[in-house]
Amino acid sequence: MFHKSKEATLRRMYLHRLCISRNIGHVYGFIDPHTIQGVGNSVNEVQTALEASRRLNSRKGRVKWIIPMSRMQVGSYECGYYVMLHMLNIVSAVILEMWDERFANPEPFSSEEIDEVRTRWASYFLEMTQSINDT
């Protein structure tokens, strides 16, 4: 059985590689929620860390935190495919503005949308598993 934290890491890797392939790797970052859980105010803690990094790297800009409404899975609120589909939609559309308009739909994703992201994720998972086994 594959450990959930490794699966979550592979999901973030998939989205990161998708961003790189679309030349938008500098726009989005994916943070493991478990690494920031329990640190108090996560937004402030992460912002402080990013500002310290920016000072060291002499980069300008401040991270703009956006907490969009999310579509809920029927009967549950924790589903990796839902999270991945939200992130995939953001990355695929290169969403930088109008967050409230784009994420104002509280309706569940359709089964076709979930099936599509499952298929994409499974293909990537198998590709990564095969490359690990080949080394």
Percent of the chain with pLDDT over 90: 0
- Does the pLDDT of residue 125 top 70, yes or no? yes
Backbone phi, then psi, for 6, in 5-degree steps?
-70, -40
d(CA 79, CA 74) in angstroms, rounded, equals 10
Q: What is the pLDDT of residue 23?
A: 81
What average pLDDT does the structure give for the chain?
70
By residue count, the chain amounts to 135
Contact 114, 85 (CB under 8 A): yes
Q: Where are the domains of the chain?
A: 4-26+68-134, 31-65
pLDDT digits (tens, 9 = 90+) for 32-63: 555 545 555 566 766 776 777 667 665 555 55
Report the predicted TM-score, pTM, of the whole model to 2 decimal places: 0.47
